[in-house]
Structure 1
Amino acid sequence: MIRTALLALAVTAATPLAAQTPPAGPWGEPHLPPAPRSPVEAARIARVTAPTQSFDAAETYETHPAGAATKFAAPSRNAFSFPSANMGFAREMDFRLGNGLFKKLWVTAPASTRSSDGLGPLYNARACQRCHIKDGRGHPPSGSEDSGVSMLLRLSIPDTASDLPAETLAYLSNAPEPTYGLQLQDKSIAGLAAEGRIAISHTPVPVTLGDGTTVTLRQPQYTVVDPAHGPLHPDTQISPRIAPQMIGLGLIEAIPEADILAHADPQDRDGDGISGRPNVVWSTAHGQWMLGRFGLKAGSPSLREQSADAFSGDIGLSTALHPAAWGDCTEAQPLCRTAPDGALGAPDGLEVSDQVLDLVIFYSRNLAVPARRNPEDHRVLRGKALFYQAGCAACHRPKYVTHRLPDRPEQSFQLIWPYSDFLLHDMGAGLADNRPEWQATGREWRTPPLWGIGLTATVSGHTQFLHDGRAGSLLEAILWHGGEAEAAREAVRMMPAEDRDALILFLESL
C-alpha cells in the first residue's frame, strides 16, 4: 500500500544504490569534520579513559561529566535546559532561537501564522517539548485521563510478510505496517480520525532479593485500541517508546566512531558474557551506511536525521530529509494524504526549512549535562566500587574523549562521562520488544547513557525508567536486566541491603 513513496525514498537515498548488506566497519563520520589524532595524543587519551582501579577518592574531573560544557547549578526542574557552559555569548542567540522552535506549538494548515502551520495531519504531539518535557524523560500514561503524550508505539511487520521489494527494504529500518506505517499516531487534525490509542495492562512479576525482600515488577502488555482503518496486520510488531532525556547529545555525536567500535565484541571473544554489537544504519542524509548512535536501539546515525525523523513521525512536518507533508500517512489513508499542508507557498516547499532544522539541532546538540553531585561521599564511592564489581561498567562504559571539532567548540576535545558503550546488547526475554530495527534484534537495546539519571525526579517529576517506563525506580530497572546483563543483575539482587543502597546512591549522583 505504501510501495510508491518508499520506493522513491530508496532510490533518492543513494545513486547508485549501495549494497543491501552493510559493509564491515568502520563506516566513517561524514556528519563530523574531525581533526586527526596523533599517536602520542591517542596513547594519552587511552590512559585517561582507562577504567579506574581505585575507589578511595573521586577521579580527576569526575565532577565534570561533560568536560568544560558541564553546567554547575542548583538542581531544579530546569537542570536539563541550560546551554553548554563553554558556549560563547555570540552562539547563545542560536541556542535561544532553537529553544523557541523546540517549544513552538504547530497548528493546522492553512493558518495566518504561515511559519507555524502544517501540523499532522496525523501526529503524536504539537511540539518537541510536549514529549521531552523540560528536556527530560517521558513516562507512560498513568491512567485513562493521561494523554500519554510522551509515549508512542513503533509499528512494523517482518520483512518476510511485506510486499515491498528487497531493494527497498534494504534501506528501511523496518518494513512498515501496511495501513498504519511505522508509528501509531494517536492524534489528528479536525476532520480526520486518529489512528488509534494505546492500551496498557500489567502482570505482576515478584522478585526476591538476597535479604528476603520482595520487589514486585510490572510486565506491561500493549494493544492498539479503536484502530481507525481496520485491524492491524496479523504479524504486526509493536514497540513502546518513552521520550528520552535530551542532555549531552552533541557530545555523544562527537565520540570517535573508532572508540565506540573498540568495545564491540560480537563473538564474545574475551568470554565475559558481554557481546556488544554496533547497529549499522543507512544514512539518507549522507547516502551511506553509518554507525547508529541515537535512539533506544541506536537506529539513527546523527542528530540531523534523528531530528528530521521526529518532525516527520511525531508532528507530521516535512523537512529536506522527509519531504512528504503528510508525514507517516500511508496510501491506505487517502484523506490524510490529501489534507491541507503547510508547504504551500514556502520558498523551499517544506514545512520545516533547513534553517529551522539547523536551529533545533543546535539546541539539541548543546543541552548541557549537569555536574555530578557528591562524588567524594564515602557511600557514593562505595557504590561506585560495587558498580564496577558487579560488572555494570562492562556496558555502561564511563569515559571518552571527543573529537577535535573546529566548527563545534562546545563539543571539541572534551573528557566526558556518559556511562555507556552505545552498543547493542541482548537484554533477555523480559525486556524484549520482539521488533528488530536495522541490525538490532527484538531482544537487543542500546546501552543508555546514565549521566543525569539521578535528577530524573527533579526534572521530570517521576522515576520511571527503561524504554517504556515500566521500572518505577532504579532498582527495578536493574532487576529487569537479563540476557548479557543477567550476571550483573544477580550480583545486585544478592547484595546486602547496605551495599544495594550504596549502589543506588552512586547512580543518583550521576
Structure 2
Amino acid sequence: MTRRLSCGLAALALAWPTVTQADPLGEPHLPLIPRTGAEAARIARVTAPTTDFTAPEPFESRPAGAATVRARRTPDAFSQVSGNVPFERELMFKVGNGLFKKVWVSAPASTQASDGLGPLYNARSCQRCHLKDGRGHPPEGAEDSAVSMFLRISVPAGPQDAMTEIEEFLAAKDGPGAPRTRPDPVYGGQIQDFAIPGHAAEARFSVSYEEFEVPLSGGETVSMRRPTYTAADPGYGPLHPDAMLSPRVAPQMIGLGLLEAIPEADILAWEDPDDADGDGISGRAQIVWSVEYGQPMLGRFGLKAGAPTVKEQSASAFAGDIGISNPLFPAGWGECSAAQTDCRAAPDGNSARDDGFEISGESLDLVTFYSRNLAVPTRRDLDDPDVLRGKQAFYEAQCTACHRPKFVTHRLDGQPEQSFQLIWPYTDMLLHDMGPGLADNRPEGRANGREWRTAPLWGIGMTETVSGHTYYLHDGRARSLMEAILWHGGEAEAAKQRVVEMPKADRDALIRFLESL
C-alpha cells in the first residue's frame, strides 16, 4: 500500500470516526435525487411493520414495486426482465443475458470473442452456476459435479503483512483487534476445481453429511444433516496448515438492482452492534474497499456482503469463477497466485478488441444491467387464511428483526427500473451472528467466522420451480425451509425456539407463508 492511499484513508477515518445512520460511506454508483422531508415521513409510515394480519397489506402482492412481473410456473420464472424496463432498454437486458450465458473457451482459440477461460476456473459461464438465475446446489452423489458451489480459502494475516486500505479504515473506525486474513499463498482466495488442458485443477470438492434429529413441539421431529467439506487431491501441494475454508452455493439473482438502490442510511439505521435496545439482535454493516471507486463502501452482495455493487460482484465473479479479465480485475490469468507460475505464464485472451481485457467494459456493463434487472415475481396466495396466519407467526416469532420486510429505494436519475419503489425483500442487509452451527470460522472483512448477511427471502417459495431442488442456506445443507429455520442460532436462537415451541398448525402456516414469498 502506498503512503498516498494511507494518508487518504487517515483523512477519511477522521471524517467518519464511527458508523451511524448519518455517516455516508459513499454511493457514487447511484445517480441520486435527494428525498424531501415529506417523502421521508411518508416512507416511514409505509415501511412501518404491520399489526393487522386479517388481510394482505396494500401493494404486498408486488414485492418489487413496478419492477414486479407475473409469477410463471416454469423454470424461467427468475429470468424475466423488470416489469418497468422501458422498451428501448430491453435490448440491453437481452444482450447482457447472452453474455451471462456465454460459454468461454481457453486461449488461443478461433472463437476470439469467447476465449480467455481460466487457466483455473469453477465454471465456464455465469449461467453454469446460476442456472436459470436461481440457486446452486451441493453435489448430489458421486456423479454430480460441484459446478454451482465452491470453497473460499484464506489464512490468518501474519505480523509481517502490512494493513490493506480497508483494514486501516476499519481499525480507525472500530479499533484494532478484528481478525485479519489473506488469500492462501498458493491457492489464492478460492479453490478452483477445474482447469484448462495442461494445467492441474486446484482440488476436488468433496462433502459428506452426518444425519441427526431435532424434536419439535407436538412430537414432530425433523431430520437434519451436518456437512463436512474437504478440498481433496490438492493439485499444488498441501493446503496451508492454517487454511480456513468456507463453502458457498451460488445464490439466486432476482432483485439485485433494487437491493443496490436501498438507501445506505436506511440500512445503517438498523445497526445495533452493542444491542443497545436489548432485543438480542445486534446487526452490523459490512464495510468493504471498492475496487471500482477506490474508497470504503457499504457491503451489500455476497453471503457475507463482501461486494459493494452489482458491477463489482459481477466483475469479481468473472475473474475468480471463470478466469476472465475485465476493467476491475485486469489480470489475464484470473485468480492464479504468484506461486502458480505455469498458470500465470499461460496464454490469455486479452485483446484490443475488448479494451485490452477478455471482457470489455461495455460488455461488463451489459451483464451488470442484466443482473440488476432480473425481476422478482408476484406473490402467490397472499390472501389465503393459512398464509396470513403464517405471516402473523413469522412476525410474532420476531423473524422480522433481521428479515426486515420493506424498504423504499432511492430516487434515481436515469435508472427508472429501481427508482423510488416500495419493495419487500425481507432482509436488513446487515451481518448477524448465526451461532456455531452455521459458522464457517472464516472472517471476511468486518464479518467474523459466525456472521452472515441476512439473506433476502423474496422468491424463496419458487426455488423448486426454478432450480429443481429445495436446498437452502449458504452451503445448501438445508433440504427444506424448516431445516433452514432450525439451523438458525446465535442472534436468531430465540426466534428459532419460538418456532420449535409453537403449535404444529402455526409452524405449517409459517412454511406456507414462506412458500408464498
Query: Structure 2-normalised TM-score?
Result: 0.94
Q: C-alpha separation between the residues in 2 aligned to 1:434 and 1:141?
A: 22
- Structure 1 equivalent of residue 373 of structure 2: 366
> Unmatched 5+ residue regions in structure 2?
170-179
Q: C-alpha separation between the residues in 1 aligned to 2:296 and 2:357?
A: 26
- Structure 2 equivalent of residue 24 of structure 1: 18
**1:78 aligned partner, one-letter code:** D
| Higher alpha-carbon deviation: 306-315 or 21-30 | 21-30
**1:389 aligned partner, one-letter code:** E
Q: C-alpha separation between the residues in 2 aligned to 1:454 and 1:363?
A: 23
The offset of 1:241, in angstroms, is 0.2
2:32 to 25, 29, 34: 34
Given that 1:14 and 1:287 are in contact with CA atoms closer than 8 Å, whether structure 2 keeps it comes out as: no
1:114 to 112, 115, 121: 112
Aligned: 1:449 with 2:456: yes
Q: C-alpha separation between the residues in 1 aligned to 2:240 and 2:219?
A: 45
Given that 2:166 and 2:288 are in contact with CA atoms closer than 8 Å, whether structure 1 keeps it comes out as: no
**Pair 1:328–1:481, CA change in 2 (3 A):** same
Given that 2:76 and 2:466 are in contact with CA atoms closer than 8 Å, whether structure 1 keeps it comes out as: yes
Q: C-alpha separation between the residues in 2 aligned to 1:381 and 1:215?
A: 24
SS in 2 for 1:332: coil
| Higher alpha-carbon deviation: 23-32 or 95-104 | 23-32
SS in 1 for 2:497: helix
**Pair 1:34–1:330, CA change in 2 (3 A):** same
- Structure 1 equivalent of residue 50 of structure 2: 52
SS in 1 for 2:219: coil
2:203 to 193, 196, 213: 196
Aligned: 1:249 with 2:243: no
**1:34 aligned partner, one-letter code:** L
Q: C-alpha separation between the residues in 2 aligned to 1:461 and 1:171?
A: 44
SS in 2 for 1:166: coil
Number of corresponding residues:
500
- Structure 2 equivalent of residue 228 of structure 1: 235
1:299-358 CA-to-partner distances (Å, cap 9, x unmatched) read 110011101100000000111111111111011111100001000444521111100100
Given that 1:14 and 1:288 are in contact with CA atoms closer than 8 Å, whether structure 2 keeps it comes out as: no
Aligned pairs (5 A) from 1:130-279: 130-160=128-158, 163-167=160-164, 170=167, 174-279=181-286
Given that 1:13 and 1:287 are in contact with CA atoms closer than 8 Å, whether structure 2 keeps it comes out as: no
Q: C-alpha separation between the residues in 1 aligned to 2:283 and 2:495?
A: 15
1:123-178 CA-to-partner distances (Å, cap 9, x unmatched) read 00000000000000000001111111000000001123x75322478389940011
Aligned pairs (5 A) from 1:74-85: 74-85=72-83
- Structure 2 equivalent of residue 126 of structure 1: 124
**Pair 1:471–1:333, CA change in 2 (3 A):** same
Given that 1:297 and 1:424 are in contact with CA atoms closer than 8 Å, whether structure 2 keeps it comes out as: yes
SS in 1 for 2:328: coil
**1:208 aligned partner, one-letter code:** P
SS in 1 for 2:51: coil
**Pair 1:320–1:409, CA change in 2 (3 A):** same
**2:340 aligned partner, one-letter code:** Q
Aligned: 1:425 with 2:432: yes
- Structure 2 equivalent of residue 100 of structure 1: 98
Q: C-alpha separation between the residues in 2 aligned to 1:361 and 1:23?
A: 33
**Pair 1:169–1:423, CA change in 2 (3 A):** closer
- Structure 1 equivalent of residue 336 of structure 2: 329
Given that 1:110 and 1:342 are in contact with CA atoms closer than 8 Å, whether structure 2 keeps it comes out as: yes
| Higher alpha-carbon deviation: 206-215 or 47-56 | 206-215
Given that 2:5 and 2:165 are in contact with CA atoms closer than 8 Å, whether structure 1 keeps it comes out as: no
The offset of 1:210, in angstroms, is 1.2
Quote the RMSD (CA, aligned, Å).
1.7
**2:383 aligned partner, one-letter code:** E
**Pair 1:408–1:440, CA change in 2 (3 A):** same
Q: C-alpha separation between the residues in 2 aligned to 1:447 and 1:241?
A: 15
The offset of 1:16, in angstroms, is 5.5
2:59 to 58, 61, 71: 61
Q: C-alpha separation between the residues in 1 aligned to 2:208 and 2:502?
A: 31
Aligned: 1:488 with 2:495: yes
**Pair 1:324–1:11, CA change in 2 (3 A):** farther
Q: C-alpha separation between the residues in 2 aligned to 1:458 and 1:169?
A: 40
The offset of 1:74, in angstroms, is 3.0
- Structure 1 equivalent of residue 175 of structure 2: none
**2:153 aligned partner, one-letter code:** L
SS in 2 for 1:18: helix
The offset of 1:23, in angstroms, is 5.2
The offset of 1:368, in angstroms, is 0.2
- Structure 2 equivalent of residue 287 of structure 1: 294
Q: C-alpha separation between the residues in 1 aligned to 2:221 and 2:348?
A: 54
Aligned pairs (5 A) from 1:347-366: 348-366=355-373
SS in 2 for 1:170: helix
Q: C-alpha separation between the residues in 1 aligned to 2:219 and 2:472?
A: 24
Aligned pairs (5 A) from 1:311-322: 311-322=318-329
Q: C-alpha separation between the residues in 2 aligned to 1:468 and 1:54?
A: 35
SS in 1 for 2:312: helix
SS in 2 for 1:79: helix
**Pair 1:171–1:287, CA change in 2 (3 A):** farther
Query: Structure 1-normalised TM-score?
Result: 0.95
**Pair 1:321–1:110, CA change in 2 (3 A):** same
The offset of 1:75, in angstroms, is 2.0
**1:24 aligned partner, one-letter code:** T
1:448-504 CA-to-partner distances (Å, cap 9, x unmatched) read 000000000000000000000000000000000000000000010112211110000
